[in-house]
Structure 1
Amino acid sequence: MSAVDELEPALVHHIVNTLGWKGLRPLQEAAVVPLSGGKDALLLAPTAGGKTEAACFPLLSRMHRARWSGTSVLYLCPLKALLNNLLPRVGTYASWLGRSAALWHGDTASGTRKRILADRPDVLLTTPESLEAMLVSVNVDHASFFSGLRAVVVDEVHAFAGDDRGWHLLAVLERLQRVVGRPLQRVGLSATVGNPDELLTWLQGSGAGSRPAQVVAPHLDATRDAVSGALSASVPPGDIQLDYVGSLENAATVISTLHRGEKRLVFCESRRLVEELGSALRARGVNTFLSHASLSLDERRRAEAAFAEARDCVIVSTSTLELGIDVGDLDRVVQIDAPASVASFLQRIGRTGRRPGTSRNCLFLALDRAGLLSAVGLLLQWSRGWVEPVVAPPEPRHIVAQQVLALCLQEGGVGSNLWHEGWNGLGPFGSSAQPIVKHLVTEGYLDQDEGLLFIGPEAERRFGHRHFMNLTAVFTAPPQFTVLQGRTEIGRTDPSLLTEHITGPRRLLLAGRNWQVTYIDWNRKRCFVEPVEEGGKAKWSGAGFGQGASFRLVRAVREVLLGADPPVNLTRRAQGCLGEAREYFMKRVHPGGTLIVRERDRSGQLRWWTWAGHRANAALAATFDGVAVPGQRLNDHWVRLRDDLTPADWRLARKAVTDRLALPDIDEKAVKGLKFGDALPPRLAEATLSTRLADLESAAAVLDESVRFTGVGI
C-alpha cells in the first residue's frame, strides 16, 4: 500500500485533478503514515518544500475518517501575515472534504470572531498570543470551544523555539491540553535545523518520552550519520556571489543596473537600511516596494500585493519576508551584508529557484569590511552543511511569572498548592517556580484567599488595560509614534526623531518616502505628516539586547582570515577587500590559539583577540574582572585588557581562574527592558538576563586554548 492510499480518496481526487499534481512530493509522501497514525512529528524541508500540504493532507484525512467534530485542528504561525497567506490554501483543502477553516488573530474583526464562536471551524489558524487571549477571554467558553481539539500544527517552529515565544507557546499548549483533557498530536514544520531530534523533543513538551514521535526529513535522510544518527544539511546547489560595494548608495546603483526586467527581493538587517535603500532605489527610477515591522499593515499588504503582480521591480525587506509568505515567483535574492545565521540564509535563498528551469541564487553586497567578513564566514559554514542548532533560551523565569498570572486569569482562581499542575510538569513551570509565585503574592500581583490564588491589584494596574492585552502580549516593543497622512496610517517611528534638536523643519523617512512633520500629538503618540521631496531620516531603537554573532560564525571568520575560502564566486572587489582584511588581521589571528596584542594605533589598547563571539566574550570579561577593563563595550572579536598588564600578570590571573567562569553583571536598564521582569524578585530577573548574555561553553573552549602575547615588548 502506498502513502497516497492512506489519504481520503476525495482528497486524492482533488490533488490530482484540481491541483494537477502527478504525485506527492517526498516530504508529503513520507509524512502520511506517521501523521495518520497519530505520531508527533517534525517535518523538515527547504523553503517551498510543501510542508503545509504534508501536514494538512493526512490530518484532514484522519479528521474525515474519524469523524472529528468542532475545532479539531489548530494551525499556529509566528506571523499574522503568514496566517493571512495560508488561509486560502488551508481553507480550500478543508473544503474538499466538506470541512472549514477560519482565521483568528489581532486584526480579525469582532463580527468575524462572533461567527467563529457560534459556528466552530474545523481548522483554526491563529498565533499563540491570540490563542492565549481566547483562553483568558470572558467572551470565549474555551472548554466548550476546544472540546473537540485533536491536533496542533506549529508552522516555522524553529522561529518559536529559539526565543521566549517558544516557552510561551509550550506553556499555552500545556494549559490548552488540560482544558481539552487529552494529549494533543503535535506537528512542527521547519526548514533545515542543526538539531532536529532535540527540536522535536522540545515541541512535545510534557509528552516527550511518553508519546511516539518521528523526524520526517527525506531530503536529509541520506546524510544521516551512521554512528550518531544525527542529521546534517546537504548544501543546496545555487549561484552564490559575493561583492564588495562599500556603501549603501553603491549598493543601490548595483541593484538598479543588474538584472533589469527581473523581480528582486533584497534583505537588509535593519529597518533603517530598508528605508534608506528603498529611497535610494526610487531615486534611481526603480519600481520599489518596502516591508518591515514598523510599516502599517495596509502599507505592507499594498507593497506585497503590488510586488507579487509586478515584474521589473524590487522589494526591500527585513526578515519579515524571510518566512513562507508568498510574494510570487522571484528571480533574484540580494543580501545586504550578511544575515545573522546560516538558517536565515537558507530561508532567504530558498525564495528563489521555484520555477522549473531556474536555480537558487543570492547576491551578497557588502557595505564595509565587517559586512564582507561576516558574509564570507557564514558562507564557509554553509558550504560545510552546518546549520545552527535551535536552542530554547535558558531560565525563562519572566515567562513563568506571566503564565502564572495568565492561568489565574483563565481559571478565575487556582489552588495555591495546585498551580504548578497547570503545565503538566513542563520544566521551568513546575514546583521549582515557587519563589516566583511567592514574590507575585508578596508584591500584590496575586491575591491569596482560602487556599486560592487570584489576580491581584498590582496585576490589574500593570496589565489590566483593554482586557489584559498587556498580559497576553509577551514581548516588549519600544514605544513608537504612529505616523499619519490625514487619516491614513503610514507606519511608526522612533520618538527620538521627534525630540532631537534640529535646525529647520523636522522630516522623516518612512515607507521609502520623505515626510515633513506638521503636528505632533504627544498624549496619543501620533504625528501628522505631509510629503516632501527629500531630507527624511529613519531611525528605530532596538527592542532587545544585541548578542552579536555566534561562536561558530566568528570562528569561521577567523578561518577565512587564516586563508580558508568558501566555494562561492567572489568579485574582484570582494577579493581585494578580503586580501586587505587578511593583511590587517595577520597579527591578530593564529591557528594555534588566541593572541593578546598591543594595538599600534592611537589607542594603544591591549586587546585579547578571542574570536569567540559577543556572549562568550561577555563571560570571559566577567571571569577576568581584575584583568579586563571594567564597563567596556563588548564585541564579537576581542576583550580589552588593562593597559599595564604583563605576561606574568596574565599567567597569575589565568591560574586563579582555573575552570571557574563568571556571568556578566547586568545593567539596571536591561532588567527594566525585560517584560514581566518587574514581576520577578530582582535577583532572579538579573540572573535570567546574565545567564542569557553569556556563552559559557564557548568561553570554556577559549580557556582551553593557548594564549600568545604579541607587540608588548616581550
Structure 2
Amino acid sequence: MRDAQERAVPVLVDADQDVIIAAATAAGKTEAAFLPILTNLLNDYDPPGSVLYISPLKALINDQWDRLGRLCEQLEIPVVAWHGDISSSKKHRFLKSPEGVLLITPESLEALFVNRGSSLAGVFQNLRYIVVDELHAFIGSERGKQLQSLMHRVELVAGRRLPRIGLSATLGNMSLAKEFLRSADAGGVTVIKSENSGQTLQVQVRGYIQPPMSELKKLLIQSADEQSEEDETENKASPDFAIADHLYKVLRGSNNLIFPNSRQQVEWYADQLRRRCEKDGVPNEFWPHHGSLSKDLREQAEHALKAGGQAASAICTTTLELGIDIGSIKTVVQIGAPPSVASLRQRLGRSGRRPGENAILRVYCKESPLKDSSSLSDQLRQSLVQTIAMVRLLLGGWFEPPRTQGLHASTLVQQCLSVIAQCGGATAADLWKHLVAEAAFQNVEKPDFLKLLKSLGEHELIVQDSSGLLLPGTVGERLINHYEFYSAFISDEEFRLVCDGKALGSVPISRPLTKDQRIIFGGRRWQVRDVDLQAKVIIVAPARGGAPPLFDGLGAMVHDNVRKEMRAVLADPNPCPFIDRDAQALLDEAKKTFNALGLGERYLIESGGRCYLISWLGDYANDALRLLLNHVGFSCDNAGLAIEIEADIQRTLAALKDVGELDANDLDSILADVENMLREKWDWALPESLLMKSFASISLDISTAIEFAQTHAATYTNPNEMMPRALIGD
C-alpha cells in the first residue's frame, strides 16, 4: 500500500470519525478511503449499511462507478450511480433496498430531498459514511455552501452524526478543508496527508512577441484552406502558429494535456494541430475537450487518452482538471498565464504518474512589442512575470487557499425553498436552526435572515399560513418544480458589448462593473455608458487613451501572494533558470522598466497628468481600491498590475487619504454605483442589504484596500517626483 492508504485503515474502518485524505492526483485516494470503508460494510451488520459518495462531476461518477464496480463485484456490494443518464428502474431498486455505495452529485441529492423528502428517513437509516470526492473543488463556492447544507440535512434525516470523509488534493491550509468538512468541530477532523512525493518537475517557459490585436484577430480567423502563400509568410508574425508548430514537434507520439485560456483558443489549436497531422499524412493525435462540446465529442477525447494503443493529446479547458481517469500523461502544456497556482498544480498532477517518470510542464507566454505608447502592464511584461511568479510559488509548495469568507446568501434562498419542499412546510425557527444557527450559513445574522424571509414573501417565493408555517408561494412552487432548481450555481453569463447599435462581441463579466468604467475588448479601450442586466447588454463608446495593455481585465482573479512574488521576480538580478532565451530577453526588458521607475521603493508614478498606482495587491483588493477611489470622486481603471487614475500625485494622495477614512461596512454608499451585483443564481430574491454583503464578501477585499490606503497615504515621501513621459505611454 501507499503511505496514505496504510494510514487510512485504522482511522476509517470503524466509521467513528471525520477524515480528510489529501494527496496528489492518481495517488490512490479512492482506494485509501474505500478499502477500509468496504471492510466496514462487509462486517455482519443487519441490515446491511450504505455509503453516500458525492462527486462534483457526472463524468467522475461514471469513472468511479466503473472503478468501484470492479472492486465491489466479488464482494457482492452494490454500486449505484445516480444522475440523469441512469435509468429510473436502477434508482428505484436502490430506494427500495438502500445498501452498498450510492454515487451522486449535489444536484441529484438536492432533487432527492425535494422530491422524496418523506421517504428519505428509510433511505438514510443505515448510512455509515458520507464521502466527498474532490473536496477542494467545492470549498469557497456557492455549490460548496449547498454541499455543506446537504450534509447537515442528511444527518438530520438519519438522526445521528455520520462520519464525513473528504478526498482532496493537498491544500496549502488544511484547516480550511477541516472547517469546510465539519465547521462545528473542525478540530476533530483527522487529516491524512500523503508524504509520497519523489516526483521531479521539468519546466520550461517560452516567450513570444504578439502582433497588434487587430492583425492577430485577422490571422486567427483565417482558415488554412483560404491562406495564400503571402498569408503563410504573414502568419509567421503570429506566435500562435509558432506555438502550434512547437507543440506538434515536441508532443507527437505521447499523451498530453494542452490548456489554452479560452474555448475559442481550444478550437483554434485543435484545428491547427489536426491540420499538421493531415499535412504529414499521419493519424490525428489531437482532440478538443470543453464544456460546450457534446457529450459524445468529449468522450472521444477521453477514450483516445485512455485507450493506450495510439498517442493522443487533449486541448482542453478546466474540464480535464479534476480526477477523471485519462491514463498516464507525459506533458502538461499551459498557453498564456495560468489561472492560478492551485490550478497549475492540479493540472500538473496528471503528469509523471508512472514510477521514475518526471512531471513535465511547458508554458507558452505571448507579449506585445513595446512602443512609446505601450502601457505599464505591457512594459512590465505582466503575463510572463505572472507566469514565472506562479511557477516559483508552485516549486516552493505554495498555492492559493480557497476564499471561504463568502456569505453565498443566494444558496441560502435555495436551501430555504428546498427544506420547505422536503418537509411540506417549515417554520422560520426551523429554517434558522437547521440552515443557519447549526449549519452552513452561520455568518448570516438574524436581522438579515428575517429580512430575507420577508423578501422571499414579497417575491412570492414563500407564503405563511395562519399557523405560521412557511409554504411555497406561487412563484416558488413553479421554480421548485423546475429541473434547474437543484443546481445552486449558474455559470458566469456572457454580456454583449454594443457600440452605436453594432454588436462588438460577447464576454463573461465576473468583475464589478460601473458606468463610465473603461474596459478592454478586441484590442481597444471602451467606456461603459449603460448596463442592461435583464438583456445582458453593455452599451459602450470608444474611450480615449493610449494603446491598451495585452491584459484584458476580465480574466481569473490573481492572489495577493502572486503579485508579491511578481515584485520579487522583477527585483531579482539573477537570470531565471527555467525560461528560454526569448523569455529571458522579455524579462530583462521588464526588469529594466521596473528599475528605471524605481518600483522597488515606490508605488505611485505620474506621467502625462495621470497617476499609476502599483499596489502589488491581488485583484480582490485592487478591484475594491478602484471602487473606493471612484466613490471618493476619482476616475480610474484597474489594468492588472496598475490602477490608472485621472489625477496627479498630489490629488491621488489626497484621494488615498479619503479612502483610508472610509468605513468598510458602509456598503450602501461604497457599492451604490456597481451595476452587476446580481452574480449568483438567487441574488435577485435577496434584500438589498444582504445582497451587498454577499457580493462584497465574494468579489472584493475592501478591508485590505482601505488598510493599504491608510498605510501608504501616510508614508509616501516623494509627492513631487515625476517620471519621464517616455517611460509610460500616455
Normalising by the residue count of structure 2, what TM-score does the alignment of the two structures yield? 0.78
Partner of 1:189: 167
1:455-479 Cα distance to aligned partner (Å, 9 max, x none): 1112134x14xx3322211111367
| 1:426 maps to 2:439 | yes
1:428-462 Cα distance to aligned partner (Å, 9 max, x none): 2577222212221233211111121111112134x
| 1:111 maps to 2:111 | no
- Give 1:191-210 correspondences, 5 Å limit: 191-208=169-186
Which residue, out of 580, 604, 623, partners 1:596?
Answer: 604
Partner of 1:571: 580
The secondary structure found in structure 2 opposite 1:340 is: coil
Letter of the structure 1 residue corresponding to residue 274 of structure 2: R
Which residue, out of 15, 37, 45, partners 1:59?
Answer: 37
Contact between 2:352 and 2:359, CA under 8 Å: does it hold in 1? yes
CA distance in 2, matches of 1:87, 1:678: 38
Shift of 1:254: 0.9
Letter of the structure 1 residue corresponding to residue 248 of structure 2: S
Shift of 1:638: 1.9
Which residue, out of 454, 477, 480, partners 1:438?
Answer: 454
| 1:583 maps to 2:600 | no
CA distance in 2, matches of 1:346, 1:565: 25
Which residue, out of 646, 650, 654, partners 1:642?
Answer: 646
CA distance in 2, matches of 1:448, 1:165: 28
Which residue, out of 455, 458, 470, partners 2:472?
Answer: 455
CA distance in 1, matches of 2:47, 2:599: 65
1:488-542 Cα distance to aligned partner (Å, 9 max, x none): xxxxxx9999xx9799xx9xxxxxxxxxxxxxxxxxxxxxxxxxxxxxxxxxxxx
| 1:553 maps to 2:558 | no
Letter of the structure 2 residue corresponding to residue 447 of structure 1: V
| 1:405 maps to 2:417 | yes
Partner of 2:399: 387
| 1:473 maps to 2:487 | yes
Partner of 1:26: 3
CA distance in 2, matches of 1:54, 1:666: 51
The secondary structure found in structure 1 opposite 2:677 is: helix
Cα RMSD of the aligned pairs, angstroms, is 3.1
Shift of 1:575: 0.8
Partner of 2:252: 260
Shift of 1:692: 2.1
- Give 1:516-555 correspondences, 5 Å limit: 548-555=557-564
Partner of 1:539: none
Contact between 2:629 and 2:659, CA under 8 Å: does it hold in 1? no
CA distance in 2, matches of 1:315, 1:150: 39
Contact between 2:62 and 2:81, CA under 8 Å: does it hold in 1? yes
CA distance in 2, matches of 1:241, 1:353: 15
Check 1:411–1:43 CA distance in 2 against 1; reply closer, same or farther (3 A cut): same
CA distance in 2, matches of 1:566, 1:427: 48
The secondary structure found in structure 1 opposite 2:557 is: coil
Normalising by the residue count of structure 1, what TM-score does the alignment of the two structures yield? 0.79
Contact between 2:26 and 2:353, CA under 8 Å: does it hold in 1? yes
| 1:690 maps to 2:696 | yes
1:234-278 Cα distance to aligned partner (Å, 9 max, x none): 895211111113432222111011143112211122212211111
Shift of 1:287: 2.2
The secondary structure found in structure 1 opposite 2:616 is: coil
Contact between 1:383 and 1:566, CA under 8 Å: does it hold in 2? no
Shift of 1:217: 1.0
Partner of 2:292: 294
The secondary structure found in structure 2 opposite 1:428 is: coil
Contact between 2:21 and 2:168, CA under 8 Å: does it hold in 1? yes
The gaps in structure 1 that reach 5 residues or longer are 1-23, 221-233, 481-493, 507-543
1:357-397 Cα distance to aligned partner (Å, 9 max, x none): 31111111112344322210101212222122223242221
CA distance in 1, matches of 2:192, 2:681: 36
Partner of 1:101: 79
CA distance in 1, matches of 2:122, 2:701: 45
| 1:213 maps to 2:189 | yes
Shift of 1:427: 5.0
The secondary structure found in structure 1 opposite 2:265 is: helix
Contact between 1:73 and 1:151, CA under 8 Å: does it hold in 2? yes
Contact between 1:439 and 1:679, CA under 8 Å: does it hold in 2? yes
CA distance in 2, matches of 1:325, 1:145: 28
CA distance in 1, matches of 2:10, 2:574: 43
Aligned length: 613
Shift of 1:45: 0.9
| 1:677 maps to 2:653 | no
| 1:132 maps to 2:143 | no
The secondary structure found in structure 2 opposite 1:420 is: helix
CA distance in 2, matches of 1:479, 1:699: 27
The secondary structure found in structure 2 opposite 1:284 is: helix
CA distance in 2, matches of 1:502, 1:89: 48
| 1:272 maps to 2:268 | no
Shift of 1:653: 4.6
The secondary structure found in structure 2 opposite 1:137 is: helix
| 1:711 maps to 2:722 | yes
Letter of the structure 1 residue corresponding to residue 192 of structure 2: V
| 1:249 maps to 2:253 | no
Deviates more, 1:68-77 or 1:146-155: 68-77
CA distance in 2, matches of 1:479, 1:206: 35
Shift of 1:81: 1.0
The secondary structure found in structure 1 opposite 2:325 is: coil
Partner of 1:527: none
Contact between 2:628 and 2:659, CA under 8 Å: does it hold in 1? no
CA distance in 2, matches of 1:608, 1:651: 13
The gaps in structure 2 that reach 5 residues or longer are 210-238, 278-283, 368-380, 506-552, 726-730
Partner of 2:708: 702
Letter of the structure 1 residue corresponding to residue 320 of structure 2: L
CA distance in 2, matches of 1:219, 1:68: 38
Partner of 1:19: none
- Give 1:336-351 correspondences, 5 Å limit: 336-351=335-350
Letter of the structure 2 residue corresponding to residue 58 of structure 1: P
Partner of 2:543: none
Shift of 1:84: 1.0
Contact between 1:194 and 1:386, CA under 8 Å: does it hold in 2? yes
CA distance in 2, matches of 1:401, 1:502: 35
Contact between 1:628 and 1:642, CA under 8 Å: does it hold in 2? no
